[in-house]
Amino acid sequence: MRFWGTIDSGLDPVYVVKPISIVMPGNPAQGKYRGPGWAEWSLGFLCTVLAATQLRSILTTPDPQTALSYYYQEPWVRNFHVAGLTIDLLVVLIVATWIFAWKKSEIWMVVLMALCLSGFVVSWAELLRAVAPDPTRVYILEGLPFGVINNKGILGASVFAGFFAMKMPLGTIDGVAKVLLRLVLWIGIFGVQWMLFEQMVKQV
């Protein structure tokens, strides 16, 4: 933007041009804006949904003398569910913080990936523990590999693993083909996990 003024010297007016710099977010004076993209927004939204379902499962008391009530009496179950809820909330917090503190985008990306890896591990750790042979167990869980597991089991694990797929570089592929390929990758991640679980259950 330029400001026009005159100098009164008693002669003909002389016009002086004074440049005025206005800094807007994302302009060269501050650097290119590097806030969360659609992959981070999607992850934040899905983790919000997972956190809501996770909080509900933690606060809900199951009916007595049911498989679910016996399962929730296991000392390690609550730890898994609290860990899953904590990871979900941290993901949402990081994505929200990234909007304003975008100059530290590299740090937020590393933190998000660490949280996604942790969420994936926590979901599968409880799932493996739930199906591990135990001669003292007097109940049979239903709804696996989803249901009672933190973050809905392999569904939540697919959300966390899918974030890595969403960030995978795809070369020159662009447009609709790029979106479809990423969707296929996510479906593949979900399907592979389900097949692994089915094979694991058959061998137990």
pLDDT by residue (tens digit) across 28-44?
Answer: 345 677 889 889 999 99
* Cis-peptide, bond into residue 133, ω within 30° of zero: no
The pLDDT assigned to 23 comes to: 41
pLDDT at residue 97 above 70?
yes
Question: What is d(CA 101, CA 118) in angstroms, rounded to the nearest whole number?
Answer: 23
* 60 or 23, which is more confident: 60
Length of the chain: 204
State the CB neighbour count (10 A cutoff) for residue 132.
10
Residue with tokens 């990936």: 113
Question: What is d(CA 152, CA 144) in angstroms, rounded to the nearest whole number?
Answer: 9
Q: Label residue 3 by pLDDT band (50, 70, 90).
A: very low
Contact 162, 168 (CB under 8 A): no
Question: What is d(CA 6, CA 43) in angstroms, rounded to the nearest whole number?
Answer: 56
Question: What is d(CA 51, CA 59) in angstroms, rounded to the nearest whole number?
Answer: 12
pTM for the full predicted model: 0.79
* 4 contacts: CB under 8 Å, gap ≥ 6: 15, 16, 17
Phi/psi of residue 7, each to 5°?
-115, 120
* 115 or 73, which is more confident: 115
The pLDDT assigned to 17 comes to: 53
The pLDDT assigned to 149 comes to: 92
Contact 102, 35 (CB under 8 A): yes
The least confident of 59-63, 117-121, 125-129 is 59-63
Question: What is d(CA 101, CA 93) in angstroms, rounded to the nearest whole number?
Answer: 12
